[in-house]
A = this chain, B = another copy of it.
């Protein structure tokens, strides 16, 4: 049996969403058409609006509607002299939710991946190098993902920072809070030991 073309096209189009396969796309399409027609229209408008309006911040490359994002435009953050390098805008959100960091960000929108043809310029490292030489940055915090590609990217940026004589740090790896040692992998536990902190006696 053939579904009508508009439904088929909707199912195909829904498969662009991450984690949505043919079965979920079909379920979503039927759900929208049966019970959520207003929601579907609102989604269509939101998609069109977002694609039209949202671009990248000129300073940090994150997704934003204005030429400069809220964080880059914040005076206190501009004077902090801290720059945190992350892979995605979602990482910025996650770090902001900790409330621990009051500096600015630089969002790579990916990581170095020579096999996929993603080189330094594709993740904005030319822009970053320029910022390092022109701005008064005291410290760079490397917060790329602790994956092979993320580590390689961090390594590359650390080298850039060394050439510009800027202090560079990497976020700590270790045992996650609330986790159990028994279930932590070897590499993480290794990092937790090598990065151990001395408990100061009173």
Contacts and interface: CB of A to CB of B under 8 A. Distances in A.
Given A42-B16, A50-B6, A30 B65 contact: no
Contact of A47 (B12, B40, B69): B40
A79 interface: no
B44 A48 contact: yes
Nearest to A39: B16
A121 interface: no
A3 B28 CA distance: 26
Contact of A6 (B54, B93, B96): B54
B9 A49 contact: yes
Interface stretch (A84-92, A141-149, A152-160, A186-194): A84-92
A17 B32 contact: yes
A26 B3 CA distance: 30
Interface residues of A, number: 57
Interface string A4-26: 11110110111011110000101
Interface in A65-93: 65-66, 69-71, 88-90, 92-93
A111 B96 CA distance: 46
Contact of A51 (B18, B40, B51, B89): B40
Given A39-B16, A47-B41, A51-B40, A63 B7 contact: yes
A116 interface: no
A154 to B, nearest CB: 20
Given A4-B70, A34-B109, 20 more contacts: A1-B70, A1-B71, A1-B96, A4-B66, A6-B53, A7-B63, A9-B46, A13-B46, A13-B47, A16-B43, A17-B28, A17-B32, A26-B90, A27-B90, A32-B47, A32-B51, A33-B54, A37-B51, A40-B51, A44-B47
Q: Which 5 A-B pairs have the closest CB atoms?
A: A16-B39, A13-B46, A44-B47, A1-B96, A4-B65
22 contacts: A1-B92, A3-B93, A4-B64, A6-B46, A6-B65, A7-B54, A7-B63, A10-B50, A13-B47, A16-B40, A16-B42, A19-B24, A26-B93, A27-B90, A29-B50, A30-B88, A30-B89, A33-B51, A40-B47, A40-B51, A44-B48, A47-B47
